[in-house]
Structure 1
Amino acid sequence: MKLENHIEHYKNDAEYFDYLNLDKFTVQEIRRRYEEFFRLYRLRDNDKILEIGAGAGFALNHLKTNVHKYFLLDISTHNLKRVREKTEGEIYPISGDVFNLPFPSESFDFILLSEVLEHLNDPLMALTEIQRVLKHGGSFIVSVPYKEVITYQMCIHCNKPTPTNAHLHSFDENKLVDLVKSAGLTPVKTSKCLNKAANRLHFNLFTKSLPFTLWKNFDKMFNSLIDKASSIIVLAKK
């Protein structure tokens, strides 16, 4: 199934849903996912960073905006304006499309694509464009839902089956790694995180005060017992 007009869809989505004020359960899931990103990739001073589909700019909690140059790219300007208003330092909100990134080749040291690829009509085309703007020797992290069973509802407006949460693709580790390789990038590490069984018990909320390293050990244990991670993450190099 293809999304006929992804630009209009996600502009409307950003205005309808308040991504800067999420429920407490989702906030903790996102927090732990980003902590895992920055465990896999250690930021360096003066890194030039691009986050695609940045939405609420969650990466800002892990950056030093007086040291790192952070470019937030999103289709909608709605959330970008809100992030800019509440943040000081070297952040650069830019409206744009992952299929046609408005940057010269080899522009960024680190690129992050979190929970976006499953929404795109052509994931390989998007990854190839990301590879273009990543510097030689640069790093890229992508995360997607892990082994998602995509469900459908009948749309009340068009009377056609519509995928839940606009997720068009399901990925396992091999499929995601192969896709990253096909885009000309070299996978370095993979990670599964946020066990679904633990999530149902609100584990992330109850353990929000735990240091990340301790939380990660619990999450790894859950995933070794029950292969039901919420996200699969790949770190790749160019």
Structure 2
Amino acid sequence: MITVDFSRLSIRPGDRILDIGCGSGRHTAAAYRLNGVRVTGADLNVEDLKEARARLDFHDRLGEHGDGVWSLAAADVTALPFPDACFDLVICSEVLEHIPDDELAMTEIVRVLKPGKPLVVSVPRYLPERICWALSDDYFNANQGHVRIYRKSALTDRLERTGTRCVGHHYAHSIHAPYWWLKCLVGPTRTDAIAARLYHRLLVWDIMHKPWITRFIDRLLNPILGKSLVIYLIKNSIKKGLDIKVALD
């Protein structure tokens, strides 16, 4: 699933993009299709990085890219191996809910972002996620370990305290929420539940073919049932911080 709406972002040829916690590389590959960008996918899971490499190689073979470059790195979001202020966009999609020390992770993703540049963070939305936790004691462990549920206001406030300002948000993937509720009812790790398998086939069909009817339903229900909360932020400029310091002095 592509959670980030790239049309909201001003991205120019030559920009460096970091997709931290890239998993199998969905957002890395989507960013790679932008014109002339240099995108890095980073994750701690080596198997996920192998999948991401295969996905990006496939894009190269098909010529489905924007004539930029891609790279992959094994990296911990709480100790990123990148210098300060080196990326023009950082994407952190469905990552923070897995991280025990999420405050350190937030500090790191802002540290490597250039001042005045965008940060996009997505996490499971509070209500759909709370329903999953209520339906199944195993859910928060089954999905690679969810350690917390975020409310939008609290998450936004914490991100802004790291030196960013929120410029917008939206909700995504409403038609995926009932699938996870169904999975929780039958057992989140089961693969033989017919209803869950049929729903999964529907979701795969939707992702592959993007029919207008499911796109319409998804957009219609996102404000109410959107599975993911997506927050768009801008890193505060250094100049503004210096101006404040001078004024205080």
Alpha-carbon shift at residue 198 of structure 1 (Å) = 7.2
Q: Secondary structure at the match of 2:114?
A: strand
Amino acid in structure 1 at the alignment position of 2:17: I
Q: Which residue of 2 aligns with 1:223?
A: 222
Amino acid in structure 2 at the alignment position of 1:236: L
CA distance in 1, matches of 2:164, 2:7: 20
CA distance in 2, matches of 1:199, 1:42: 33
* Farther off after superposition, 113-122 or 143-152: 143-152
CA RMSD of aligned residues (A): 2.9
Q: Secondary structure at the match of 2:88?
A: strand
Q: Which residue of 2 aligns with 1:54?
A: 22
Alpha-carbon shift at residue 91 of structure 1 (Å) = 1.3
Alpha-carbon shift at residue 207 of structure 1 (Å) = 4.8
Q: Which residue of 1 aligns with 2:44?
A: 75
Q: CA, structure 1 residues 135+82, in 2 after alignment: closer, same or farther (shift >3 Å)? A: same
Task: Please tell me whether the aligned partners of residues 43 and 73 of structure 2 are also in contact (alpha carbons under 8 angstroms).
Answer: yes
Residues 1:106 and 2:85 aligned together: yes
* Farther off after superposition, 103-112 or 80-89: 80-89
Residues 1:131 and 2:131 aligned together: no
1:178-231: CA deviation from partner (whole Å, max 9, x where unpaired): 12112211111110111157754777556554478x86654332234xx22200
Q: Which residue of 1 aligns with 2:151?
A: 172
Q: Which residue of 2 aligns with 1:45?
A: 13
Task: Please tell me whether the aligned partners of residues 37 and 141 of structure 1 are also in contact (alpha carbons under 8 angstroms).
Answer: no
Q: CA, structure 1 residues 62+204, in 2 after alignment: closer, same or farther (shift >3 Å)? A: farther
CA distance in 2, matches of 1:197, 1:96: 29
Task: Please tell me whether the aligned partners of residues 78 and 104 of structure 2 are also in contact (alpha carbons under 8 angstroms).
Answer: yes
Q: Which residue of 2 aligns with 1:13?
A: none
CA distance in 2, matches of 1:135, 1:40: 18
Q: CA, structure 1 residues 206+75, in 2 after alignment: closer, same or farther (shift >3 Å)? A: closer
Q: Which residue of 1 aligns with 2:188?
A: none
Q: Which residue of 1 aligns with 2:137?
A: 152
CA distance in 1, matches of 2:222, 2:138: 30
Task: Please tell me whether the aligned partners of residues 65 and 91 of structure 1 are also in contact (alpha carbons under 8 angstroms).
Answer: no
Task: Please tell me whether the aligned partners of residues 25 and 51 of structure 2 are also in contact (alpha carbons under 8 angstroms).
Answer: no
Q: CA, structure 1 residues 94+65, in 2 after alignment: closer, same or farther (shift >3 Å)? A: farther
Alpha-carbon shift at residue 237 of structure 1 (Å) = 0.4
Task: Please tell me whether the aligned partners of residues 194 and 230 of structure 1 are also in contact (alpha carbons under 8 angstroms).
Answer: yes
TM-score by length of 1: 0.71
Q: CA, structure 1 residues 145+84, in 2 after alignment: closer, same or farther (shift >3 Å)? A: same
Amino acid in structure 2 at the alignment position of 1:57: G
Task: Please tell me whether the aligned partners of residues 152 and 164 of structure 1 are also in contact (alpha carbons under 8 angstroms).
Answer: no
CA distance in 1, matches of 2:154, 2:18: 24
CA distance in 2, matches of 1:58, 1:137: 25
The 4+ residue runs of structure 1 with deviation greater than 4 A are 196-208, 214-217
Greater Cα radius of gyration, structure 1 or 2: 2
TM-score by length of 2: 0.68
CA distance in 2, matches of 1:124, 1:76: 21
1:108-141: CA deviation from partner (whole Å, max 9, x where unpaired): 0000011111000021211111111100111110
Task: Please tell me whether the aligned partners of residues 56 and 79 of structure 1 are also in contact (alpha carbons under 8 angstroms).
Answer: yes
Q: Percent identity?
A: 29
Alpha-carbon shift at residue 65 of structure 1 (Å) = 7.4
Alpha-carbon shift at residue 47 of structure 1 (Å) = 1.3
CA distance in 1, matches of 2:7, 2:216: 13
Gaps of 5+ in 2: 61-67, 180-198, 236-249
Task: Please tell me whether the aligned partners of residues 66 and 90 of structure 1 are also in contact (alpha carbons under 8 angstroms).
Answer: no
Whichever structure has more helix as a proportion of its residues is 2
Task: Please tell me whether the aligned partners of residues 98 and 126 of structure 1 are also in contact (alpha carbons under 8 angstroms).
Answer: yes
